[in-house]
């Protein structure tokens, strides 16, 4: 974050009582940049969502760009967000907005692909969010919006069965509560694939939580959805069911909904990426990390 072309007002870091030497590194940087870096160390390990809630009580700026310990921000992220705020003459203490930048997926082999949120700008945000077409990685949120949305911890207390998918709800609430959405055709957050708590979870617990999240989304945001949206939810729920209870009947039901959803997927989460719902769990990584990146590069070359 210190390589930003326009330095942020502050960098707030929470160390979750790590024992791997992270705190020593953080303290060293804080000593070098005392005016920018504000570092806090928990006395006990609070966990993912407790820390996400805690950081809201600490930061003092009026625009937040979040970055987990495994991920990165592109060097122009802060400048891109601030430039748009200046152009639109926004007041982040009053206006509820998101400056939506593109994201990058960084694969274990070092290759990168762009999650092109700008391509989704003409589609209602709640619909592309449902289809996982919109992924701005918590970048560019105004303080006014942040304060109007419940934390992941609060959502988890309401729906404990969704587990680590609680941040899925937060994304919906951000979009619904935002009075203004601005799309910027530049990269903000960099998501490092197959690391972190949610990415490495490949047990039944993951599919149970994911399925519960989509069922809860259907119930909570019912009034915002149409038949195509419900059809997509049916596909996800049936796909998770196949992962949990593999059989010909659950596979065939998933295939049925997959075919019915052709043309109903999003640009960033197309039909080919959703093929994993029809494959054994052991094949997911091959599709996700080998075949899909090739498809993305071919698509990108075709655009040019």
Query: Domain end: 179, 195, 211, which one?
Result: 195
Same domain, 92 and 189: yes
**pLDDT for 301:** 80
Same domain, 67 and 191: yes
**pLDDT for 283:** 84
Same domain, 140 and 252: no
Same domain, 69 and 189: yes
Same domain, 208 and 292: yes
Question: Could you tell me the residue range of the domain that residue 183 belongs to?
Answer: 62-195
Same domain, 284 and 266: yes
Same domain, 95 and 152: yes
Domain annotation covers residue 227: yes
Same domain, 29 and 76: no
Domain annotation covers residue 81: yes
Same domain, 106 and 1: no
Query: Domain end: 147, 169, 195, which one?
Result: 195
**pLDDT for 64:** 96
Domain annotation covers residue 52: no
Rg for the chain, CA atoms, rounded: 20
C-alpha 233/C-alpha 270 separation (Å) is 15
Q: Provide the number of structural domains found in the chain.
A: 3
- Give which of 152, 136, 147, 141 is closest to 197, Cα–Cα: 152
**pLDDT for 200:** 46
Domain annotation covers residue 55: no
**pLDDT for 127:** 97
- Determine how β-strand 11-15 pairs with β-strand 37-41: parallel
**pLDDT for 202:** 59
Domain annotation covers residue 239: yes
Domain annotation covers residue 93: yes
pLDDT values of the chain reduced to their tens digit, one per residue, 304 residues: 899 999 999 999 999 888 888 899 999 999 999 999 999 999 999 988 999 999 999 999 999 999 988 899 999 999 999 999 999 999 999 999 999 999 999 988 888 889 999 999 999 999 999 999 999 999 999 999 999 999 999 999 988 999 889 999 999 999 999 999 999 999 999 999 876 555 445 578 999 999 999 999 999 999 999 999 999 999 999 999 999 999 999 999 999 999 999 999 999 999 999 999 999 888 888 888 888 888 888 888 877 6
Same domain, 91 and 163: yes
- Residue 275, exposed/middle/buried by CB under 10 A (0-12, 13-18, 19+)? middle
C-alpha 260/C-alpha 115 separation (Å) is 25
Same domain, 33 and 144: no
C-alpha 227/C-alpha 187 separation (Å) is 33
Domain annotation covers residue 112: yes
Query: Domain end: 144, 166, 195, which one?
Result: 195
Domain annotation covers residue 51: no
Same domain, 270 and 223: yes
């Amino acid at each position: 974050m210190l390589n930003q072309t326009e330095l942020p007002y502050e960098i707030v870091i929470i160390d979750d009582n790590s024992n791997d030497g992270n705190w020593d590194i953080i303290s060293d940087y804080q000593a070098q940049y005392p005016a920018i870096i504000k570092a806090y160390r928990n006395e006990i390990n609070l966990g993912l969502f407790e820390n996400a809630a805690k950081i809201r009580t600490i930061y003092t700026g009026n625009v937040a760009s979040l970055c987990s310990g495994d991920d990165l921000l592109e060097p122009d992220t802060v400048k891109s967000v601030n430039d748009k705020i200046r152009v639109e003459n926004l007041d982040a203490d009053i206006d509820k907005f998101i400056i939506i930048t593109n994201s990058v997926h960084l694969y274990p082999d070092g290759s990168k692909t762009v999650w092109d949120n700008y391509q989704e700008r003409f589609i209602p945000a709640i619909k592309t969010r449902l289809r996982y077409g919109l992924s701005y990685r918590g970048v560019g949120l105004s303080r006014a919006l942040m304060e109007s949305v419940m934390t992941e911890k609060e959502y988890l207390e309401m729906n404990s069965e969704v587990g680590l998918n609680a941040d899925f709800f937060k994304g919906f609430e951000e979009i619904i509560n935002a009075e203004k959405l601005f799309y910027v055709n530049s990269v903000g957050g960099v998501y490092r694939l197959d690391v972190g708590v949610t990415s490495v979870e490949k047990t039944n617990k993951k599919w149970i939580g994911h399925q519960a999240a989509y069922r809860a989304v259907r119930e909570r945001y019912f009034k915002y959805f149409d038949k195509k949206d419900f059809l997509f939810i049916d596909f996800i729920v049936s796909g998770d069911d196949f992962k949990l209870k593999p059989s010909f009947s659950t596979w065939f039901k998933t295939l049925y909904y997959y075919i019915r959803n052709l043309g109903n997927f999003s640009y960033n989460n197309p039909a080919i990426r959703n093929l994993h719902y029809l494959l054994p769990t052991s094949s997911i990584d091959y599709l996700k990390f080998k075949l899909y990146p090739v498809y993305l590069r071919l698509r990108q070359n075709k655009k040019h």
